[in-house]
């Protein structure tokens, strides 16, 4: 087994709270094991444009509590081409990089899977960083816990104004094709209904639930994942206004606040565990896998099995939402 000499570390795709904590863990684990480390700025774009610089222990100072990513993140159309990937490979070799730690979500893992198949001499381990929590191979992804706590805090405040004015609020959260944020926070805020892209939404069923609810409730909250097929919160809001003109109906789009902010303790610890495990996996000769945490045990899932998936939503969660919304 050829020992790892130099690791290239990068963040790609959308940022997620806890990325900096993972960066810190990778840096310090590499230094502890006397392995050189290089930071690749702006993900695959930096790899292609040779924006690569040394990382030291000092680079990891005072970043565990920061949101975003000190390495910056971007999406790269050029990396989707064989020419772009070949350019990236040549830059990695020029810097003596023989292994990569990739922090990102579905798009990042798909990209490094293809890159690794074309250039098997570069060992690659991915660390799941996405607020959507939609990757196989880890119970939770880095950023998810912070995002749902951000949603809870925001919707609690919305509930207060809804109570004050006897309003119905439709709250849209992130999740283009994953309802994990909407479903879990829907339970957490006591929503009257939750609409997610994994299941076909039925407006008639939503109307029935609103009519079935207690008549003396002075506020109502409907959680909607942004990828829900009726068209999102505004379209659902218009449908409700037309059906129930007596409701004072408002729409709130939480948007990118879900991706920002200081990571929670849970995300900081998860990022630290997975960052350490990623470097140690490379030292052990592993490659082409995503590191994760399942039932509090470090696990490794091949890239092809870890990419984004449509899961059946948790039936128990949906049952609880319906029962507790009365």
Q: What is the pLDDT of residue 165?
A: 82
Question: What pLDDT score does 95 carry?
Answer: 97
252-282: pLDDT as tens digits: 999 888 999 999 999 999 999 999 999 999 9
pLDDT digits (tens, 9 = 90+) for 26-60: 999 999 999 999 999 999 999 999 999 999 999 99
**In the predicted model, what is the mean pLDDT of the chain?**
89
Residue 78 has pLDDT above 90, yes or no: yes
Q: What is the tens place of the pLDDT at every residue in 107-150?
A: 999 999 999 999 999 999 999 999 989 899 999 999 999 999 99
pLDDT in tens, 160-172: 888 888 888 999 9
Phi and psi (nearest 5°) for 320? -65, -40
pLDDT band with cut points at 50, 70 and 90 for residue 324: low
Mean pLDDT of 205-228: 73
pLDDT at 228: 58
pLDDT attached to residue 162 = 83
Residue 216 pLDDT > 70, yes or no?
no
Confidence band for 312, pLDDT divided at 50, 70 and 90? low
What's the confidence (pLDDT) of residue 246?
Answer: 83
Decide: 91 and 47 in contact? Cβ < 8 Å: yes
Read off the pLDDT of residues 169-183 as tens digits, 9 standing for 90 and up: 999 998 766 778 988
Q: Are 125 and 287 in contact (CB under 8 A)?
A: yes
Dist CA 149 CA 117 (whole Å):
38
- Is 156 one of the annotated active-site residues of the chain? no
Residue 213: the pLDDT is 60
The dihedrals phi and psi of 225, each to the nearest 5 degrees, come to: -75, 140
User: Do β-strands 36-40 and 52-54 pair in parallel, antiparallel, or remain unpaired?
Assistant: antiparallel
> What is the value of pTM for the model shown?
0.91
Specify the pLDDT at position 229: 61
d(CA 323, CA 314): 15
Which of the following is catalytic: 15, 98, 132, 134? 132
Which residues touch 112 (CB under 8 Å, ≥6 apart)?
100, 102, 124, 126, 303
Pick from 176, 181, 128: which is nearest to 150 by CA? 181
H/E stretch holding 168 reads: strand 167-173
Q: What residue ranges define each of the domains in the chain, with the CATH number in brackets?
A: 6-143+263-306 (3.40.50.450), 144-259 (3.40.50.460)
User: In the chain, what are the helix, strand and coil shares in percent, each to the nearest 5?
Assistant: 45, 20, 35
Residue 325 above 70 pLDDT?
no
Tokens of 287: 């490659």
196 vs 313: CA distance, rounded Å = 9
The span from the CA of 30 to the CA of 37, in Å, is 7
Those residues whose C-beta lies under 8 Å from the C-beta of residue 215, and which sit 6 or more positions away, are: none
């Amino acid at each position: 087994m050829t020992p790892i000499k130099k690791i290239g570390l990068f963040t790609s795709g959308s940022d997620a709270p806890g990325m900096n904590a993972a960066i810190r863990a990778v840096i310090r684990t590499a230094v502890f094991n006397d392995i050189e480390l290089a930071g690749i700025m702006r993900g695959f774009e930096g790899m292609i444009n040779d924006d690569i610089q040394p990382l030291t222990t000092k680079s990891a100072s005072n970043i565990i509590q920061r949101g975003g990513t000190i390495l910056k993140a971007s999406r790269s159309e050029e990396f989707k081409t064989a020419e772009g990937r070949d350019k990236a490979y040549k830059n990695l070799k020029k810097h003596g990089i023989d292994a990569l730690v990739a922090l990102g979500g579905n798009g990042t893992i798909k990209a490094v899977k293809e890159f690794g198949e074309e250039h098997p001499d570069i060992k690659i381990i991915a660390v799941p960083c996405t607020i959507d929590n939609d990757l196989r191979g880890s119970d939770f992804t880095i950023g998810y816990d912070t995002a749902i706590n951000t949603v809870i805090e925001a919707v609690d405040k919305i509930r207060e104004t809804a109570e004050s004015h006897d309003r119905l609020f439709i709250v849209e959260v992130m999740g283009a094709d994953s309802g994990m944020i909407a479903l879990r926070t829907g339970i957490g805020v006591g929503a009257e209904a939750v609409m997610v892209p994994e299941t076909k939404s039925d407006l008639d069923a939503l109307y029935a639930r609103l009519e079935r609810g207690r008549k003396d409730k002075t506020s109502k909250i409907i959680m909607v994942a942004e990828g829900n097929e009726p068209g999102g919160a505004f379209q659902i809001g218009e449908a409700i206004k037309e059906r129930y003109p007596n409701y004072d109906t408002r729409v709130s789009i939480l948007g990118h606040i879900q991706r920002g902010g200081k990571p929670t303790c849970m995300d900081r610890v998860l990022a630290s565990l997975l960052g350490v495990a990623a470097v140690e996996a490379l030292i052990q000769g592993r490659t082409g896998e995503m590191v994760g945490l399942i039932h509090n045990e470090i696990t490794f899932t091949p890239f092809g099995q870890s990419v984004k998936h449509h899961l059946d939503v948790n039936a128990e969660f949906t049952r609880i939402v319906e029962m507790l919304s009365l």
